[in-house]
Amino acid sequence: MQAHRYSRKDYLKLPDKPGVYKFFDSQGIIIYLGKAKNLKKRVSSYFTKANLDNRKTYKLVSEIREIEYVIVSSEFDALLLENNLIKEHQPRYNILLKDDKSFPSICVTNERFPKIYSTRRIDHSKGDYFGPYTSVKAMNGVLDLIRKLHKIRTCKYNLSEENIRKKKFKICLEYHIGNCLGPCEGLQSESDYLKDIEEAKKILKGKTGIVGKSYKQKMQTAAEKLKYELAQSYKEKLNLLEKFQSKSLIVNQKITGTDVFTMTQSEKGNSLFINYMKIEHGAIVNSETIEVKKKIEEVNKDIFRFAIFDLRKKYSSNNPFILTNIHVEEWEGIEIIVPKIGDKKKLIDLSYKNALYFKKERHSQQSIQPNESILKKLKEDLQLSELPVHIECFDNSNTQGSNPVASMVCFKDGKPSKKDYRKFNIKTVIGPDDFASMKEVVGRRYSYLKEEKINYPNLIIIDGGKGQLSAACEALKSLDIYGQIPIVGIAKRLEEIYFPEDSLPIHISKKSPSLKLIQHLRDEAHRFAITFHRQKRSKSSLVSGLDGIRGIGDKTKSQILQEFGSVERLKQSSQKDLIELIGASKASFIQEAIKKGDI
C-alpha cells in the first residue's frame, strides 16, 4: 500500500483545489495542519524566499519531510475540517506559529440572566466556555444562529432581583427591534430566559438534532392549538437550524460513528485507489488515500475488504457503520451501507473525489516523458548536432550601473531545473556595461564546469542581440572551449535568433513550440535576474539607511539585514520583533528613524 503523500520537493504537484494540507516530519508525525482555498498556491507559499525570512516559518519548513492533503468541496468545508483535525492531532506548530492572540471561544456567563459572547480570555469563574474556534468566521456564524433563534440580552446590566424590583434599568433599542424580551424591566421571567440559554448551549455543544426535535414538537403543538403565528415562528427557527446543519459535509451531527470507504481501479486494472474517512461526533477526524497494487486476476472486492480492515486497524476505528460505493461482504457487528441519496451519499462523493484525484495524479506521473517533440523541433530549427536536453540561458540586470547582477537558468528535458539555477554578483565590471558583465559571468560559469570536469550543456542561450552574444563567445574563446557548445542570442524586439559570426539573424515562426521554449528560458532568466537585483538593491538601501543611526554598528546592521533583508520588511516588522533581535535601546533608535523617514 502507498499512502497519498508527497515528499516536500513535490509540493508543486498539489491540486489547485480547496482542501486541508498536513506537514509531516522525519518521524512521520504531523507538525502542522492548514486549510487552503487553493492547495498548490498555499503550500508553495511556504517555500518562497519572503516566507523563509521569518524565523519561525523557516524552522517549520526545515522540518518538513512529507506533505499530505485532503480535497473538500469548498473553502468553508476546508475551514471546518482544519478545525477538527487540529483538535484531533494537536500539531505543535499550530501553536508555535500563532500570534500573541489565542483562538477565540464563546462564553456563556453564570449570571442570573446569562450573556453569550466571544472572547480570547478564559476565566472559568465567569461562566462556561465553548471552543476554541480556529476561525472567527465560523464562530460568528454560530453566534449569529443563536441570536436569530433566541432572544439573548447583550447589555452589561447587573440584573439582580433587587435591581429589577427597584426599576433601576430601562428597556433599550434591542427590545424595540425584537432582539431582547426586556428582562431588565421584569418583562421576561428568569425561568423562560434560562430555557433559551439551555437550548443555546445544546447548539454550542453540537447537539443541533435535539434542538431541532424540540422546535418541531413545539411547532406541531402550536398548530394543534390554532396558534399559527407561533407555529410559523418555530418553523422559521427550524429552517434556520437545518440550513446551518446542511452548510457543510465536514460537520454534520446526523452522521456519527461512521467510516467512509470508496474505491476506483486504474485503467490497466493493476492498481486500486482507496480513500478512507473516519467520522466521529459528526466530523471528519481522519482521511487517507492509498494505492494497492494487484494482479489482474485478483478480485477487487476481496482486496477492498482487506484494505478496509487494515485502515480501520491503523486508525483504531470501532465505528459500527461503514459507507462504501461498492458493497462488500459484512462481518459481525458492522453494518455496511451503499447510500444512494442524502448527506451520506454526499460523503461518498467527497471520498470518491479524493480517490479519483489520486488516481489521476498517479497516472500523470507515470505518463510523464521528456518533451522530445519540442526538443527535436528546436534541434531542427537551430541545426544542432544533438538533442538539446540540457539548456542554459543567461541575463543581466542593473539600475544605471548600480547593484549589477546576472542569472543563469537551466532547463532539462524542456522543463525548468530550479536546483541548477545560479545567481552572479558582477565583480570585475565598473559602471553599466552589459557586454563586459555577460563576458564575466559566462567565463565564470564555464571555467567552473571545465575545472570540475562537469558536463557542458547542449545549448547556451544569451538574452540579447549581437553585442551580448559576441561578449559570451569571447569568454568561451578565452577558456578554449569555443565551438564545443552551441550558443545563440535572442533579441527581444523582433524575437530574432543570432548565431556567432553571422550578422543576419533567423526568424522562427511565432507559433513554433521551439521559439516558445526559447522565450520561456529567456523570460525565466529575466525574472530570476530582476528578482535577485531587487533583493540586492533593497539590502543596499537598508544598509545605507542604517548608516547614520546612533548606536547601530556593523554587527547590528548584519543582524538586521540577515533577519529582515529589505527596507519594506523592516518597516512592516513589529517593535517587539525588533527588540527581540537587537534590544530595546537600539530598536527605539531605528523606530525613530523610520518615523522621520530617514530609512
H or E element: which one contains 382?
helix 372-382
Q: Which residues pair with 407 in a beta bridge?
A: 395, 423
Q: Angle CA(406)–CA(43)–CA(21) in degrees, nearest 5?
A: 165
The identity of residue 81, as a single letter, is: L
Comparing CA positions, the residue from 333, 281, 341, 326 lying closest to residue 312 is 333
Domains detected in the chain: 2-96 (3.40.1440.10), 105-245 (no CATH), 258-367 (3.30.420), 374-535 (3.30.420.340), 547-596 (1.10.150.20)
**What distances in angstroms separate CA 307 from CA 156, 268, 304, 334, 363, one per listed residue?**
57, 20, 5, 15, 21
Which set of grid coordinates corresponds to residue 27? 518521524
35 SS3 class: strand
Q: Tally Cβ neighbours within 10 Å of residue 86.
A: 21
Q: From first to last of the 599 residues of the chain, give the pLDDT tens digit.
A: 334 566 666 777 788 888 889 998 888 888 898 888 888 888 888 877 655 656 677 788 888 888 888 888 777 677 767 766 776 777 877 765 444 445 677 899 999 999 998 888 878 888 888 766 655 666 776 777 788 778 889 898 899 999 998 889 888 888 888 889 999 998 989 999 999 898 888 777 766 667 777 778 888 888 888 888 888 887 887 776 666 544 444 545 567 788 999 999 887 778 889 999 888 766 677 788 888 887 766 678 888 888 888 888 888 888 899 999 988 887 777 888 899 888 788 889 888 988 888 888 777 655 544 467 889 899 999 989 999 999 999 998 875 556 788 999 999 988 899 899 999 988 887 777 889 999 999 999 999 999 999 999 999 999 988 889 999 999 999 999 999 999 999 987 778 899 998 878 888 888 888 999 999 999 999 888 888 877 766 555 555 556 667 677 777 777 776 676 665 677 677 777 778 788 888 888 777 777 766 66
Q: Which three cell numbers stand for residue 333?
A: 457487528
Tell me the whole-structure pTM to 2 decimals.
0.38
C-alpha cell at 250: 465536514
Cα atoms in the Cβ-side hemisphere of radius 13 Å centred on 507? 5
Max CA-CA distance within the chain? Answer: 104
Q: How far is CA 220 from CA 151, 200, 217, 399, in A?
A: 21, 21, 5, 78
How are beta strands 459-463 and 487-491 bridged, if at all?
parallel
Q: What residues are paired with 119 via a beta bridge? A: 105
Residues 359 and 269: beta-carbon distance below 8 Å: no
Q: Is 225 exposed, middle or buried (0-12, 13-18, 19+ CB in 10 A)?
A: exposed
* Count, residues in the chain: 599
Q: Is the peptide bond before 432 cis (omega within 30 degrees of 0)?
A: no
Q: Which long-range contacts (CB under 8 A, 24 or more apart) does 215-222 make?
A: 215/241
- What span, in angstroms and rounded, lies between the C-alpha atoms of 226 and 339? 39
Spell out a b/e string for 486-509, using b for 16 or more CB atoms within 10 Å of the CB, else e. Answer: bbbbbbeeeebbbbbeeeebeebe
* Cα–Cα distance, 561 to 577 (Å, whole number): 14
- Cα 172 to chain centroid distance, Å, stands at 45
Burial of 67 (0-12, 13-18, 19+ CB in 10 A): buried
- Give all strands of the β-sheet with 321-324 in edge-to-edge order: 2-3, 283-293, 271-280, 258-265, 321-324, 335-337
